[in-house]
Amino acid sequence: MLDEPMRSLAARLPGAERGVLVVPEFSGPIGVADMVALVDPREELSLRLEAGIPPVLNLTLATVAAAVSAKRTTTLAAIGNSLQMSERQVSGYVRSLEAQGVIEASGSGFRRHPRLRPVGRLFAFEAKVSEWRKASHQAVRYASWSDAVAIVLLTVPRDSTDMLAAARRLRIGVAHGDRWLVQPNLPRRRESFTGARLVASERIVATAF
């Protein structure tokens, strides 16, 4: 019952006029979102596919890859320090990533392939009939791998004060059907990202690879 309202909301996200890819029942690194919308993905998705690098779907490998800069050399020690891993641990993951073409040797360290990064901006939706607290709890989990999140409700409380205050505190959007009650905050593109965010993007890449 909320599928079409979610699609309508996705079509009106900031930047959606440049294109939006909608994926229902999306299995993220943590939890399954009822729907995700990838805003303005076309150019970056095309460049990512042209790179010919197999999708990085392992969370640990993606976390190591995210710790390697695409613009400057990152040493094994620096990767280990940022992830609280030993150089020996990091070395094994780095060899695997290097073999896949995700990173390459550069001077005294490594650099990530410039096209290996999240494509577009990812927005996750959680739909519920009326259980806004449960929906909010799940949406917050999705925030670990998406750029922004929202809950979509079929019915809302007669007194929505607590619900709207919680949404603003948690920085999540709230919609009643296809009408926003709390506008989502979809940030600008980020230069840094987590391994979980990369895996979520790579799962979308994998469907087109």
Confidence grade of residue 21 (pLDDT, cut at 50, 70, 90): very high
pLDDT surpassing 80 at residue 191? no
Taking CA 23 as the corner, what is the angle to CA 19 and CA 29, rounded to the nearest 5 degrees?
115
Q: Does 190 have pLDDT greater than 70?
A: no
Q: What is the C-alpha radius of gyration for the chain, rounded to an integer number of angstroms?
A: 19
Mean pLDDT computed over 70-93: 95
Identify the band that residue 189 occupies on the pLDDT scale cut at 50, 70 and 90.
low
The three-state secondary structure class of 61 is helix
Residue 21, Cα to own-chain centre: how many angstroms?
13
pTM: 0.91
Token pair in block for residue 188: 């600008």
Degrees (nearest 5) of the Cα angle 117, 45, 36?
85
3-class DSSP state of 94? helix
Tens digits of per-residue pLDDT, 121-150? 999 999 999 999 999 999 999 999 999 999
